[in-house]
């Protein structure tokens, strides 16, 4: 860092130190792990849909066009001006009743500001319904679409094809289907709900099918079907049932699944709602609340529980300044998840915490065990130095 | 999805990038895992330094690694794997930056709901880093890119030039200006 080697004033000193910190920035281990759980089962050898980089001009022009169109719609159509009881305004809240235009096999559903009512299609009928967030759904014949308690579209019966534009960062579009919740960022997919099973087929993009704390991730061309154990959407939260187990093989409902059945069956770990709530509570300075949420989440099973079990230790140590309680929590993690994905991180956390609280001999034992267990770790040097330092202070 | 034990017992964790790429191309999920472990931290750090807000970083990293995965077949090894991944990440971060600026522009329109304030990353408590991010945000995107790649990621000038598609002298020039502007901004904050 030659240009700041001779630091002339406080500002340059601060800048030099902060750039050094930026070089050491590790980011959030759990976030990195979550990303891994989303990409680890990429279909090897198959092309994937990725947003291509675009020129600078195109988004500007598109944005300008959207802005001009929005102005035109808002000011030229009286019924949609702000302040009026308009369909556009009401469309934001999914409480509307549709009316179908007669005289065609595929009827366009018009959104109206009325109390919520299900959309039903009869024999030979189809309907297209505009949904909040710019999404749309095409209902096939003999289908019913309504809204669940959390105001998500709920496919009660039949077949529905969803077309969801890319959602704003941090937001996901969700559809209920029997006991499952299908979440997407932006995609096209089909949902079918029959008497005894729910099926999902992905036309474009990536979707996740959730049941309780377990999920399955589907990519373009994948088809999935799961049993319907209770049609009520509220069952999603109440039933913490594995989506599939080796003894209950999942069927490819449309016969177009491009993955081996065993691969498609495995529940894929994904960020749970509880973990997100805990992160929010932490960022808002409510560590006790975060701890409660994490403790609840850790009682479950799967990756979310594993993440929570590790995070409990971190909150206890870093936010509540209770290092010994943190050590106990990480000890529990190791007992529950001896081969967990966060095992190495947990071992390191225990080691660092032991050193910080002055448990030098225990820290040394941990450090030596770490070096044996992870001979190729990128943090090997760091741990070796720590071990040498501790050894130096406690003597032979 | 195959469950892979964590730790560094996985075979190939010390493999060179060339070997890893070849194994990834052959569908070796262990190699893919190793590649992710090797580069996920730099990618997260890089997109953070380029101003991608915490709530978008996971999605950004996911998109970057999907692009890496998809492009591995076309990767000819003319540049280092790290340079190639940085190039993908830089392109993606620039795209997100343009999108953010567009959203920010649209948010000033009277009927548009204002953008929510980005939440600080709970994992990053250091207010210094947040302040550094704010100072870096004052630089032009090109100067910021050069400064981040050189000062934080430790890439050489020739590597940056290859990554950004410009002559090395341009990189030096941008770096000099970026450093001067950053020091000036830091002094302004200090006073």
Residues A168 and A285 in one domain: no
Residues 6+ away with beta carbon under 8 Å from A318: B125
Q: Please report residues of B whose CB lies closer than 8 A to that of A340.
A: 6
Residues A84-110, mean pLDDT to the nearest whole number? 35
pLDDT of residue A48: 39
pLDDT at A233 over 50: no
Does residue A34 sit within a domain?
A: no
- Which range has the top average pLDDT, A117-121, A219-223, A290-294? A290-294
Which of A169, A290, A346 would you mutate first to test chain B, the one with the most B CBs within 10 A?
A: A169
Does residue A18 sit within a domain?
A: no
Using the beta-carbon criterion (under 8 Å), do A185 and B14 form an inter-chain contact?
no
DSSP string, B2-56: -----SS-STTTT--HHHHHHHHHTT-HHHHHHHHHHHHHHHHHHHHHTT--HHH
Angle at B126 between CA B125 and CA B132, to 5 degrees: 130
pLDDT at A205 over 50: yes
Cβ neighbours of B190 (radius 10 Å): 13
When pLDDT is cut at 50, 70 and 90, the band that residue A83 belongs to is very low
Residues A302-321, mean pLDDT to the nearest whole number? 85
SS3 content of chain B, % helix, strand, coil (to 5): 65, 0, 35
Q: Rounded mean pLDDT of chain A?
A: 69
Using the beta-carbon criterion (under 8 Å), do B56 and A44 form an inter-chain contact?
no
Does residue B183 sit within a domain?
A: yes
CATH number at residue B50: 1.10.1740.10
Does residue A17 sit within a domain?
A: no
Residues B40 and B93 in one domain: yes
Residue A122 has phi, psi (to 5 degrees) of -95, -165
Q: Please report residues of A whose CB lies closer than 8 A to that of B92.
A: 53
Residues A126 and A149 in one domain: yes
pTM over 0.95: no
Using the beta-carbon criterion (under 8 Å), do B58 and A36 form an inter-chain contact?
no
pLDDT at B4 over 70: no
Does residue B175 sit within a domain?
A: yes
Residues A340 and A239 in one domain: no
pLDDT at B123 over 90: no
Residues A58-85, mean pLDDT to the nearest whole number? 64
Residues A289 and A178 in one domain: no
Residues A254 and A311 in one domain: no
Angle at B120 between CA B119 and CA B122, to 5 degrees: 115
Specify the DSSP element, H or E, that contains B87.
helix B81-107
Does residue B1 sit within a domain?
A: no
B-proximal residues of A, 356-395, CB under 8 Å: 373-377
Does residue B16 sit within a domain?
A: yes
Q: Does A13 touch chain B (CB under 8 A)?
A: no
pLDDT of residue B87: 92
Residues B21-32, mean pLDDT to the nearest whole number? 84
For tokens 């996920």, name the residue: B40
Total of domains in chain A: 3
Picking from B122, B155, B178, the residue at the C-terminal end of a domain is B122
CA distance A100 to chain B (A): 30
Residues B75 and B145 in one domain: no
pLDDT at B146 over 90: yes
Residues A172 and A202 in one domain: yes
pLDDT at A86 over 80: no
Residues B20 and B105 in one domain: yes
Does residue B22 sit within a domain?
A: yes
pLDDT at A278 over 70: yes
pLDDT of residue B190: 73
When pLDDT is cut at 50, 70 and 90, the band that residue B179 belongs to is very high
Does residue A1 sit within a domain?
A: no
What distance in Å separates the CA atoms of residue B138 and residue B50, rounded to the nearest whole number? 11
Residues A317 and A168 in one domain: no
CATH number at residue A116: 2.60.120.1440
Q: Which residue has the higher pLDDT, A258 or A5?
A: A5
Q: Which residue has the higher pLDDT, A236 or A201?
A: A201
Picking from B66, B95, B122, the residue at the C-terminal end of a domain is B122
Q: What is the pLDDT of residues B152-164, one digit of tens each?
A: 999 999 999 988 8
Residues B113 and B22 in one domain: yes
Residues A21-26, mean pLDDT to the nearest whole number? 80
Does residue A214 sit within a domain?
A: yes
Residues B138 and B163 in one domain: yes
Domain with A60 in it: 53-84
Residues B19 and B79 in one domain: yes
Does residue B110 sit within a domain?
A: yes
What distance in Å separates the CA atoms of residue A118 and residue A59, rounded to the nearest whole number? 37
Domain with B143 in it: 126-191
Which of A50, A132, A277, A377 would you mutate first to test chain B, the one with the most B CBs within 10 A?
A: A50
> Which residue of chain B has the CA closest to A266?
B1
Q: Does A25 touch chain B (CB under 8 A)?
A: yes
Residues B113 and B154 in one domain: no
For B41, the closest of A19, A26, A70 (CB atoms) is A26
When pLDDT is cut at 50, 70 and 90, the band that residue B181 belongs to is very high
Residues B46 and B84 in one domain: yes
Q: Rounded mean pLDDT of chain B?
A: 80
Picking from B96, B122, B148, the residue at the C-terminal end of a domain is B122
When pLDDT is cut at 50, 70 and 90, the band that residue B27 belongs to is confident
Q: What is the pLDDT of residues B29-86, one digit of tens each?
A: 788 888 988 999 999 999 989 988 887 888 889 889 988 988 888 888 778 899 999 9
Residues A154 and A102 in one domain: yes
Residues B117 and B133 in one domain: no
Query: Among A199-208, B23-32, B58-67, B178-187, which is the least confidently predicted range?
Result: A199-208
Total of domains in chain B: 2
- Which range has the top average pLDDT, A135-144, A326-335, A379-388? A326-335
pLDDT of residue B90: 92
Picking from A249, A265, A281, the residue at the C-terminal end of a domain is A265
Query: Among A377-386, B1-10, B101-110, B135-144, which is the least confidently predicted range?
Result: B1-10
């Amino acid at each position: 860092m030659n240009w700041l080697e001779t630091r002339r004033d406080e500002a340059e000193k601060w800048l030099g130190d902060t750039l050094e910190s930026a070089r050491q920035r590790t980011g959030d281990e759990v976030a990195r792990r979550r990303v891994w759980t989303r990409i680890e089962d990429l279909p090897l050898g198959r092309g994937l849909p990725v947003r291509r980089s675009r020129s600078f001009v195109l988004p500007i022009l598109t944005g300008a066009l959207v802005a001009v169109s929005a102005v035109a719609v808002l000011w030229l159509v009286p019924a949609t001006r702000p302040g009026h009881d308009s369909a556009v305004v009401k469309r934001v809240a999914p409480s509307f009743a549709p009316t179908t235009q007669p005289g065609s096999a595929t009827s366009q559903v018009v959104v109206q500001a009325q109390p919520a009512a299900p959309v039903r299609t009869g024999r030979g009928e189809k309907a297209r319904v505009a949904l909040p967030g710019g999404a749309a759904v095409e209902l096939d014949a003999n289908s019913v679409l309504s809204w669940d308690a959390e105001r998500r579209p709920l496919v009660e019966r039949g077949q529905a094809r969803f077309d969801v534009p890319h959602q704003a960062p941090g937001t996901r579009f969700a559809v209920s289907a029997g006991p499952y919740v299908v979440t997407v960022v932006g995609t096209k997919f089909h949902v079918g709900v029959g008497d005894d099973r729910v099926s999902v087929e992905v036309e474009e993009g990536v979707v996740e099918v959730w049941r309780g704390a377990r999920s399955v991730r589907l990519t373009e061309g994948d088809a999935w079907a799961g049993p319907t154990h209770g049609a009520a959407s509220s069952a999603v939260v109440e039933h913490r049932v594995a989506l599939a187990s080796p003894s209950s093989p999942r069927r490819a409902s449309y016969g177009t699944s491009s993955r081996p059945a065993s691969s498609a069956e495995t529940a894929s770990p994904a960020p749970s709602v509880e973990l997100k709530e805990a992160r929010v509570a932490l960022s808002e300075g409510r560590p006790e609340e975060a701890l409660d949420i994490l403790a609840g989440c850790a009682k479950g099973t799967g990756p979310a529980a594993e993440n929570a079990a590790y995070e409990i230790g971190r909150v206890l140590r870093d936010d509540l300044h209770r290092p010994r309680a943190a050590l106990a929590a990480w000890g529990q993690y190791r007992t529950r998840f001896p081969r967990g994905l966060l095992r190495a991180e947990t071992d390191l956390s225990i080691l660092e915490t032991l050193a910080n609280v002055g448990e030098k001999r225990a820290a040394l034992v941990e450090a030596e065990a770490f070096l044996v267990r992870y001979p190729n770790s990128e943090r090997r040097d760091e741990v070796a130095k720590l071990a040498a330092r501790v050894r130096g202070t406690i003597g032979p | 999805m195959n469950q892979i034990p964590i730790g560094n017992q996985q075979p190939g964790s010390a493999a060179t990038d060339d070997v890893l790429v070849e194994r990834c191309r052959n569908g070796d999920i262990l190699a893919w895992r190793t590649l992710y472990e090797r580069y996920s931290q730099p990618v997260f750090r890089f997109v953070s330094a380029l101003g991608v807000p915490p709530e978008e970083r996971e999605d950004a990293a996911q998109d970057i690694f999907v692009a890496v995965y998809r492009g591995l077949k076309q990767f000819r090894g003319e540049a280092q794997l790290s340079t190639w991944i940085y190039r993908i990440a830089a392109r993606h971060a620039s795209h997100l930056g343009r999108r953010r600026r567009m959203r920010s522009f649209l948010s000033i329109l009277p009927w548009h709901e204002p953008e929510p304030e980005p939440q600080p990353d709970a994992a990053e408590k250091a207010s210094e880093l947040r302040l550094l991010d704010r100072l870096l945000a004052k630089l032009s995107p090109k100067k910021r890119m050069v400064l981040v790649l050189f000062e934080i990621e430790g890439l050489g000038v020739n590597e940056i030039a290859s990554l950004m598609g410009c002559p090395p002298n341009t990189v030096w020039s941008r770096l000099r200006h970026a450093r001067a502007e950053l020091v000036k901004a830091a002094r302004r904050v200090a006073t």
